[in-house]
Each structure stands twice: as C-alpha cells, then as structure tokens.
Amino acid sequence: MAYSDKVVDHYENPRNVGSFGTQQEIKERKDIGVGLVGAPECGDVMQLQIKVDESGKIEDAKFKCFGCGSAIASSSLATEWLKGKSLDEGESIRNTEIVEELSLPPVKIHCSVLAEDAIKAAIDDYRHKNGLEHDHDHDHAEAAH
Amino acid sequence: MTLTKPIYFDNAATTKCDPRVVEAMLPYFTEIYGNPGSRNHSFGWVAEDGVETARRQVADLLGADRKEIIFTSGATESNNLAIKGAASMYAKHPAGSGKCRGHIITAMHEHKATLDPCKRLQKEGFEVTYLEPGADGLITAKMVEDAMRDDTILVTIMWANNEIGTINEIPQIGALCHDRGVIFHTDGTQWVGKMPTDVNTDNVDLLSMSGHKLYGPKGVGALYVRRRRPRVRLTAIQEGGGQERGMRSGTLNVTGIVGLGKACEIASQEMDSERERLLSLRTKLESGITAGLSDVQVNGHAEKRLPHISNISYGFVEGESLMMACKDIAMSSGSACTSASLEPSYVLKALGVGDDLAHSSLRMSLGRFNTEEEVDFAIEQVIKSVNKLRELSPLYDMHKEGIDITKIEWQAH
C-alpha cells in the first residue's frame, strides 16, 4: 500500500515528538493533560500531552506513538493542530478532518479515530486535574471502534 | 560490488526466476508450442518430451519415480488436491450419512492453503484436530501420535513453516502414519529445493511444492503422489481431459513445467553449497541485529530451522512502521497472503508470542541472489530504524521507566 506524501512527511519528520516528563512527573503536573489510548495488542498506542497556559490556551503539545505510519502521522498532525487552540476548539477536532488532511485510505481510518480519542482524553485529563469537568456530551469520546 | 536498492529479502514470498530457467523455457513459447496431449503429430511429441524431462527432473529432486509427479498450478492447488482428494477417497462414510466421515490431523500454524481445505472438509462431515505447536513452532511425532484416533485417515503437516522456518519431524511423523495405515501429506513449499529430500526415507505419501519458491516461474507446481507401499489414490477435483493420470485435468502448462523442471535440476546441483552460504548470511544478519539492539527476539526453533528464514520481534516497535522505515529492504510482516489484513500473524500467535510482539515482528528471507553486502546494509538500516521508532514509542519510554506495559489496563479497540 502506498502512503500519501503528507503521511510520509509526518512519518519522516514527525512534529512535536516527546514528553513533558516521566509518567510520574506528568501525572503530578496540573498544567499538563495526558491522553493514552489504544493497546499494544491492537498494534496502536498513542500518547498525547497538552500543556495549557493560564488563559486556558494549549500552548504546547507533544506525542509519542507505537503504530503504523498513518498512526504516527495522525498523532503528529494532532499536535500541530492543537497548538494555540482553546480546549473547546481542540475538542472540536474531528477524525474526518485528519482523514482528509492526510488522505488516509479506509483501512487506516481507525488511526484518525485514535488521534481524536487521544485529543479528547488529554483535554479530559487536564480538566479533571483542574476541577473543570465539562458538561458537554462526551459520548463520542468513548473508544468505541 | 555496488549495492542496488531496494534489496530483496522476501524470498519466502517468491523468488526471482533464475535466468537459466527462463532460457530453458523460451523455446517452448514460440518453437515447441504443441499440446503434449496431441499424440498424432510431432508438435505434440516434442512438447511431451519437454514435459517428461521436467517430470524426471522434479522426481530426481524428491527421490521419487517420475510417474509419481502430478503437475499443478502451484502449491495451493497441490494442497487442495492432496487434502480434499485423499479425504474424499479414504472417507469412512459417504457424504450426508450424518456419521463422522473420518478424522484428519493438521496444525494451527499451517499455511492457509492447508487450513482452509481442512475447514471445508469439516463442513462436509470430517473431523479435524489442529495441533498446537510448542513455543518454537515445532510439531513432533509424539504430538501427532497423541492425536491419532481409530478413524484417522489423513495427517497433513508442513515440512517447514513459511513464517518462522521451523522444521517439523517429518520422517518420524511419516513412519508413524505408515505404521497406522494413515495417509501422510506434507506441504513442502518452503523446504523443497533448499533442503535434501527423499520421499522414501522421509516416509512421505503426498508432497506439495511450488515453482516460484525455488527460482522457477509462478503458476506452476507439483504434487508427489506415492505409487508403492502404499499406493495412494486421490479423487480428482478438476475434471476434464484426464491429463496427469486423471488426477488433474487440463492442458499442461508446458512452459511453466519446463521451467519448474530446470529449477529443480539447478537446485539439485547447487543445494549443498547454497545451504551453507545462506546459513552463514543469516547467522551474520541475526547476530548483527541482536548485538546492536536490546529487546529483540528471534522466533522459531534455534537449530531446526530453514537456513534462509529469519523472523525477529522488535519490542516496542510496530512492524508496519518498521517496514516503512526500512524502505530499502523488501521484507514481510506475516505471510504475503495475509499482510493485506491488519491482524497480527496467526502463526506467531499459535506459538504463544504475545499480541504486542506479534505486531512487532518482521520476516526476512534470503535467497540465491542475495549478497553479504546486502546483509551488512540491512543490519545497519534495521538498527537505525528500530532506534528511531523507539524514540517515538510511548511503550519504550514506559519500559525504560520500569513500567510493566502488560500490567496497564489498555482500552482494546
């Protein structure tokens, strides 16, 4: 299967790879939200971290990904799109937008779904840590695929 | 010698046709184009001569008599003919009788071209036992013996596994089958042409093989059918003109058959030195990779393994992304037939390799045209790519921090 140029670009030059600290450190930091989604036995694990400034804007985002090239590209793209967005704006990113941007084929749509799940999980984690539970409808954030 | 990229390390999927094979085939397209079934003119006679030479070349490679060779379109057809044809011929009860028509023994990690015919037979009233291999992929005679029943009619166990290369106890399983009066079929696709074969001392009744795995053309293969002690009979699947002793009707693929014969002749002559060469290349490949990377595991049996197949699990790295990173090396995750699906290898799962590592495994398979320079290049590219992907891998971070990833509650999706 041939990958699109954008997938190859993100795969070869992934943006914002990394972590804001060890698992223990980021768990304790209140300005960081972490989303860890997927499972090794399914062949995809994404870890997305957002750093939120005092005004509630996502000032930085980092990812790590165990998965195919499309999964890596989807999470790399997610970090690019998240930077500078408010939490509500970040939460409104849809997997279909990722599919379109990266020209993902049908067998790779689950990678974009996972990226959307990771975004939502990271934002939820930040809100939970800071007592900002959201009353939005969260049903679509369930990893139901 | 300069290195031409990409390099081809997927010789268990298919091989390049040897130029000597192509040369032998060429006259049969345009000059010797008769139908070997045409018994009344010279065009047919010379074509038949070509086919009969090939039949002898194939038989010689297997230690068989040429009358025991049936030409087919490849190993998938050979397996279908052997398994369905024997089951139908040796069934204890007719179809629709409602009784168990006979018991068949195979293994969980056989090729799909064996498993699917067995599944079909289950629907048609036969019972099938799927043996579970050990962690090294080995099927022993003891395992087969323990599964034998009074109504066992057929055992089908591959000679060597296509994904991991583990070599099963074929002569011993064959001896057991002969003692019990059970027909023994083996899928020799990966074995034949690479390793010495003698259907008599190895106690094989039916053997499938393929042309394109031994530097012959695609679309041609053979089935060895024992004629003496015991004389094995098969119910034909494809019916028509009665070619191949009625077991496989259809005009013979003369060019392909000639190519298969030539490929077998070359294999007979060069097998011994080639086996040593491939083993030394693979040893170099595996020791280079395992010395350069932590958390890697070579799958399959340590000694009883084909010399050209290497299957390695790279912890914390996903196989498809690793193939993408190693873009100058053609290799395979799972067998070529199943790599279009996103499922991890069922062969590795049958060996008890965890799902996470099964997603992290790649097979490299070497061949006649690979060189030491290519092996050196592959070692370097694999190590570099695994290190790059581990930098990206959240699982590797966790591993380094001492977190046991098997203890995390993952949301399976």
| Same domain assignment for residues B32 and B118 | yes
Q: Cβ of B410 and A47 within 8 Å?
A: no
CATH number of residue B295's parent domain:
3.90.1150.10
Spot the catalytic one: B100, B264, B326, B337: B337
Q: Cβ of B413 and A114 within 8 Å?
A: yes
The pair of three-digit structure tokens given for residue B62, joined into one six-digit string: 């297997």
The pair of three-digit structure tokens given for residue B197, joined into one six-digit string: 């074969």
Please report whether residue B256 resides in a domain. yes
Which member of A3, A22, A68 has the closest CB to residue B318? A68
DSSP-derived letter for residue A59 is: E
pLDDT along chain B (413 residues), means of 10: 90 98 98 96 98 98 98 98 98 94 98 98 98 96 98 98 97 98 98 98 98 98 97 97 96 98 98 97 98 96 97 93 93 58 78 81 96 98 97 94 85 64
Please report whether residue B406 resides in a domain. no
> What is the ipTM score, two decimals?
0.88
| Same domain assignment for residues B234 and B311 | no
- pLDDT tens profile A12-65: 999 999 999 998 899 999 999 999 999 888 889 999 999 999 999 999 999 999
Is the pLDDT at A144 greater than 50? The verdict is no
pLDDT for the residue numbered B334: 57
CATH number of residue B59's parent domain:
3.40.640.10
**A–B: how many Cβ contacts below 8 A?**
89
Three-state secondary-structure class, residue A86: strand
Torsion of CA B113, B117, B119, B123, to 10 degrees: 160
| Same domain assignment for residues B275 and B246 | no
Interface test with A, best of B323, B346, B359, B405 (most A CBs within 10 A): B359
Chain B nearest CA to A34, separation (Å): 12
pLDDT for the residue numbered A87: 96
Rounded Cα–Cα distance for residues A134 and B381 (Å): 47
Query: pTM for the whole thing?
Result: 0.91
Q: Cβ of B359 and A40 within 8 Å?
A: yes
**Which residues in A lie closer than 8 A to residue B403 (C-beta atoms)?**
23
* Chain B residue at shortest CA distance from A110: B413
Query: Pick from B267, B302, B332: which residue ends a domain?
Result: B267
Please report whether residue B410 resides in a domain. no
User: Could you tell me which of B213, B129, B136 has the C-alpha nearest to residue B169?
Assistant: B136
- The whole domain housing B227 covers 19-267
Q: Cβ of A45 and B359 within 8 Å?
A: no
Chain A nearest CA to B392, separation (Å): 5
pLDDT for the residue numbered B412: 62
Rounded Cα–Cα distance for residues B246 and B335 (Å): 33
Q: Cβ of B324 and A143 within 8 Å?
A: no
- pLDDT tens profile A76-134: 999 999 999 999 999 999 999 999 999 999 989 999 999 999 999 999 999 999 998 76
Rounded Cα–Cα distance for residues B174 and B204 (Å): 6
Say how many domains are in chain B: 2
* Chain B residue at shortest CA distance from A24: B401
